């Protein structure tokens, strides 16, 4: 398959300004393309992965990606898809966010070879622009009626939009023109909510180059769909918040578990979106979902591929070890300290200061059982597990030998209620 045919198979083609023209261009030359990422936080999240992976697909097909960090536009705020004004961050905060996002993007693209990726920051050309230059040289190319007709602006007219966010479209358009002029960039990609901004950029290129030739023959816009689940909710959102690409914010184990719990109705679509598996491999996994859904082979493959891409092989092995210990009958005592910290991040915890303590007293102190009487009943009924092993001894003393690496004791009450005892004594 050609690149566009592969993208179509994967459901990644949402809108293209001129699909036939872009197809011809991709066949005829190495195309420089870009996608922008505004530093609105200190980490990208899993929703950004679709555009990152799409850049990567273009690169693997021989084209040159530019990953743009919006050091300038991040100071303004994109109204696209938002019902209210964003809270503006201080310049020093945006700079810090920009540097962190640059570091993340640099992990996902190849910077070697004749089509090596390049990181750019629009603060480099917007930050030094005067207000007069902006209004005279750029703003004069935008008609008010043209801007008001764009979805990102029109949807905010009733609730209100500031001139600051209203100007965002102009700044992003200028990014496309600047990269077109300085880097020979002929394609901008983005989520479907960026269509208005992308087409405005094409219009600006046409006007500022002064060329009467149809801009579609010179530059192109391409959007990919926003990722939603079968129930209509946004992909990447959980009760605990977003799934981040920063392992300090979302551990590799949490990342892995989020993916392995993908619904059967979504998993094949997500395999097409987020992996580089071939059509034959995906078709085989689709058959597995139909015929043996209980084995969850497709979910396991999705979690393996994406966890490896984002966090690496070692992190995948950790996530699998934690999952096996918690859900597959694995040995809890074989977990490393880091794996315990990841796997039991959100379970109730208790700090034990004594060198030794009776199990009954520990259950009450740690609020695992509400009373000594209930603690004894829990033990005698076989409901208490110490580091994965059932303990039915009511007079059991918990000492240093029960500690994993001298630091932790994992207690389970019943089938699913885990508690982490942190030992300091």
Per-residue pLDDT at 216: 47
287-298, pLDDT tens digit by residue?
Answer: 999 999 999 999
Within 10 A of 148 (CB to CB), how many other CB atoms are there? 11
Tokens of 155: 């949807």
279-291 and 297-311 helices cross at what angle (nearest 10)? 140
The CATH architecture that domain 237-342 belongs to is Orthogonal Bundle (1.10)
Per-domain residue ranges of the chain: 3-224, 237-342, 349-423
Per-residue pLDDT at 239: 66
Within 10 A of 22 (CB to CB), how many other CB atoms are there? 21
Which residues on adjacent β-strands are paired with residue 418? Answer: 412
CATH code of the region 3-224: 3.40.50.620
Q: What is the DSSP letter of 86?
A: P
The H or E element containing residue 222 is: strand 220-224
Question: What is the sign of the dihedral through the CA atoms of 123, 129, 130 and 134?
Answer: negative
Which residues on adjacent β-strands are paired with residue 34? Answer: 66, 188
Per-residue pLDDT at 103: 92
Exposed/middle/buried for residue 302 (C-beta within 10 Å: 0-12, 13-18, 19+)? buried
Phi–psi pair at 400, nearest 5 degrees = -65, -25
Q: How many Å apart are CA 171 and CA 45, to the nearest integer?
A: 24
- Annotation: binding site: 34, 168, 172, 237
Q: What is the DSSP letter of 5?
A: H
Per-residue pLDDT at 23: 95
Name the pTM for this structure: 0.86
Per-residue pLDDT at 425: 67
Q: How many Å apart are CA 278 and CA 425, to the nearest integer?
A: 54
- CB-based contact 127:100 (threshold 8 Å): no
Which residues on adjacent β-strands are paired with residue 237? Answer: 242
- CB-based contact 411:385 (threshold 8 Å): yes
212-252, pLDDT tens digit by residue?
Answer: 555 545 899 999 999 999 888 888 877 667 899 999 999 99
- Annotation: binding site for L-tyrosine: 34, 168, 172
292-328, pLDDT tens digit by residue?
Answer: 999 999 999 999 999 999 999 999 999 999 998 888 7
Give the distance from CA 168 to its chain's centroid: 24
Of 29, 99, 37, nearest to 58 (Cα)? Answer: 29
- CB-based contact 380:311 (threshold 8 Å): no
Per-residue pLDDT at 214: 55
Of 30, 78, 41, 54, nearest to 195 (Cα)? Answer: 78
Which CATH entry fits the domain spanning 349-423: 3.30.1330.90, 3.10.290.10, 3.40.50.1820, 3.40.47.10? 3.10.290.10
Q: How many Å apart are CA 342 and CA 299, to the nearest integer?
A: 21
Report the chain (425 residues): mean pLDDT per 10 consecutive residues. 96 95 94 94 93 97 96 86 75 92 93 94 94 93 86 79 88 96 96 93 90 65 93 80 91 95 96 97 97 96 97 95 82 88 89 93 94 95 92 91 92 90 87
Give the distance from CA 123 to its chain's centroid: 24
Catalytic residue set: 40, 45, 48, 82, 86, 172, 193, 234, 237-238
- Annotation: binding site for ATP: 237
């Amino acid at each position: 398959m050609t690149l566009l045919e592969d993208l179509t198979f994967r459901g990644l083609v949402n809108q293209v300004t001129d699909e036939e023209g872009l197809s011809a261009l991709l066949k005829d030359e190495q195309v420089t393309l870009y996608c922008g990422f505004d530093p609105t936080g200190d980490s990208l999240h899993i929703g950004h992965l679709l555009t990152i992976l799409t850049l990567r697909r273009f690169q693997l097909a021989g084209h040159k990606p530019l990953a743009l960090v919006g050091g300038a536009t991040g100071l303004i705020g994109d109204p696209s898809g938002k019902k209210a004004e964003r809270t503006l961050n201080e310049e020093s905060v945006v700079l810090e966010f920009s540097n962190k996002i640059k570091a993340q993007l640099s992990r996902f693209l190849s910077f070697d070879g004749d089509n090596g990726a390049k990181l750019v920051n629009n603060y480099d050309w917007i930050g030094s622009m005067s207000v007069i230059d902006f209004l005279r040289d750029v703003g004069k190319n935008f008609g008010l009626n043209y801007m008001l007709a764009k979805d990102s602006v029109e949807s905010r007219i009733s609730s209100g939009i500031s001139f600051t966010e209203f100007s965002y479209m102009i700044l992003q358009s200028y990014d496309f023109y600047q990269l077109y002029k300085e880097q020979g960039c002929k394609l901008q990609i983005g989520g479907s909510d960026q269509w208005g901004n992308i087409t405005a950029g094409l219009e600006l290129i046409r006007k500022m180059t002064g060329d009467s030739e149809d801009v579609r023959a010179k530059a192109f816009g391409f959007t990919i769909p926003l990722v939603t689940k079968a129930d209509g909710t946004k992909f990447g959102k959980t009760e605990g918040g977003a799934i981040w690409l920063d392992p300090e914010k979302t551990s590799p184990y949490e990342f892995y578990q989020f993916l392995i719990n993908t619904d059967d109705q979504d998993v094949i679509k997500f395999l097409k979106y987020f992996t580089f598996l071939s059509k034959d491999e995906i078709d085989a996994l689709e058959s597995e979902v139909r015929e043996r859904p209980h084995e969850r082979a497709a979910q396991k493959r999705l979690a393996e591929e994406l966890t490896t891409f984002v966090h690496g092989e070692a992190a995948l092995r950790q996530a699998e070890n934690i999952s096996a210990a918690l859900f597959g009958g694995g040995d809890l005592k074989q977990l490393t300290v880091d794996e315990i910290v990841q796997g039991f991040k959100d379970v109730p915890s208790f700090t034990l200061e004594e060198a030794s303590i009776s199990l009954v007293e520990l259950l009450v102190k740690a609020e695992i059982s509400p009373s000594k009487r209930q603690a004894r009943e829990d033990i005698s009924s076989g409901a208490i597990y110490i580091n994965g092993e059932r303990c039915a001894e009511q007079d059991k003393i918990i000492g240093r030998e029960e500690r994993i690496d001298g630091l932790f004791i994992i207690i389970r009450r019943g089938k699913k209620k885990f508690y982490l005892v942190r030992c300091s004594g």
